[in-house]
Amino acid sequence: MKKAVCTWGEGPDVLVSLENDVFILFEEPDKSHFAHGVVTQGQMDLSAAEAERLAAELLIAAREARRLESICPGP
């Protein structure tokens, strides 16, 4: 499960936590080599501004995915 909580005060403003879920991370420093990993437990600290930007980008991506699904439904 992915969840976000307010942690306002000293340090970051928002904490996104991952509990018993899968989050795939990857890095592609150049086209011939890349590194990846899987995280199943962890946290990500965000400032309030970073959290707002991420939320906006997630909403845009989700709306686009739904739009594409309505045009070309999967199997």
pLDDT reported for residue 31 = 72
Q: Give me the domain span that covers residue 59.
A: 2-71
Query: Max CA-CA distance within the chain?
Result: 48
**CB burial of residue 56 (10 Å; 0-12, 13-18, 19+):** exposed
Pairing of strands 14-30, 2-6: antiparallel
Over the chain (75 residues), what is each successive 10-residue block's mean pLDDT? 87 88 80 80 92 95 93 79
**Total number of domains in the chain:** 1
User: Where is 61: in which H helix or E strand?
Assistant: helix 48-71
